[in-house]
Amino acid sequence: MAGTKEIKRRIKSVKSTKKITKAMELVSASKMKRAVSKTLASRLYANYSWDLLTSLSDKLEGEELTHPFFIENKNGNGKSLIVIITSNRGLCGGYNSQIIKKTIGMLKTSLSDQVDIITVGKKGDSAMRRTGQNVVATFTDFSDSVTLQEISPLSTFLTNEFKNGNYNNIYIGYTDFISALSQKANIKKLLPISKTELKDVIDSLGDKEEEKKKQKTQYLFEGDIDTLLQTLAEKLVKMQVYQMLLESSASEQSSRMVAMKNANEAAGEMIDDLTLVFNKARQAGITREISEISAGMASIN
């Protein structure tokens, strides 16, 4: 059994660690609250966007769209681009490992050999380079409270690369925020926008739309529907990138808060265990000293 001095040193060390994890838990909880608030607020905007697209869904059938976002690119030489969103820092449980594992799995099973990677966050960048992937760009300067202005370079880069015919498909790997205790890694196809897929997404909302049918806003469209859809497509792509970054940010802070909470509880349990060991060691030391004194007194007599 370790000496009492060693045990006291370990207890002091664990208490210091517990203070750090508790502080990180509180900071992450505060950041999570802001991130979740922004995520839910943007979801409301996204719901209104889908409401507008639903009103246009009847016009989609049979329309020949000319916007490049709706047309499969034949000039990309079979190349695909994946954007993977991770964090710059660790200590956030399985947040990074889940999306990295899912991306690597997709690279091995679903895509061709010609795949380029764009990473958002240092953890994803190091993981992709370590596995030998071709990382063409890295974004690590997004703030915890990301804005539309901040993501403009990324969204512009993606749209320009697709318009210029450099890639056939563009995907984004991110983490869906479900709750503070649940996040789901997901890879979504960003470009091209398929009319069939768009119809499927709209139709999949049918049950919810039926419930809100009486409350649904009726839109009156004038002018060229194709032009309107083209304008919406530009905004939709940028909004999708923004929403995915918000979802990932909320998921990161939630994962970090839960990880630090678990670490804080584990530190408390370790302190209790070490305190018990310390008390036993001290009691054993006292008993030994009493025995030695008694033996000494007996030898004198």
20 assigned to some structural domain? no
Q: Which of 187, 157, 189, 193 is nearest to 175 (CA)?
A: 187
Q: Whole-angstrom Cα distance, residue 25 to residue 263? A: 9
- Whether 122 is in a domain gets the answer yes
pTM as predicted: 0.76
Work out the pLDDT band at 74, boundaries 50, 70, 90.
low
Sheet containing strand 182-191, strands side by side: 134-139, 115-120, 80-85, 169-179, 182-191
Rounded average pLDDT over 135-160:
86
Please tell me the least confidently modeled range out of 220-224, 266-270, 297-301: 220-224
Domain membership of residue 47 (yes or no) is: yes
Q: What is the mean pLDDT of residues 122-136?
A: 90
Domain span at 195: 29-256
β-strand partners of 80: 115, 169
CB of 43 closer than 8 Å to CB of 240? no
The verdict on residue 263 lying in a domain is no
* 246 domain residue, yes or no: yes
Residue 3 inside a domain? The answer is no
Token output for 85: 């969103």
Give the C-alpha separation, 10 to 270, whole Å: 10
Strand partners, 120: 85, 139
Q: Which two tokens stand for residue 202?
A: 């709209």
Query: Based on the structure, what is the number of domains in the chain?
Result: 1
204 confidence band (pLDDT: 50, 70, 90): very low
Provide the CATH number for the domain around residue 236: 3.40.1380.10
Confidence of residue 51 (pLDDT cuts 50, 70, 90): low
pLDDT above 70 covers a percentage of the chain that reads 76
Rounded-to-integer distance, Cα 113 and Cα 122, Å:
24
- In order, the DSSP letters of 119-140 are EESHHHHHHHHHTT-EEEEEE-
For residue 49, is it within any domain? yes
pLDDT in tens, 245-273: 988 988 998 888 888 988 988 999 999 99
**Is 40 among the domain residues?**
yes
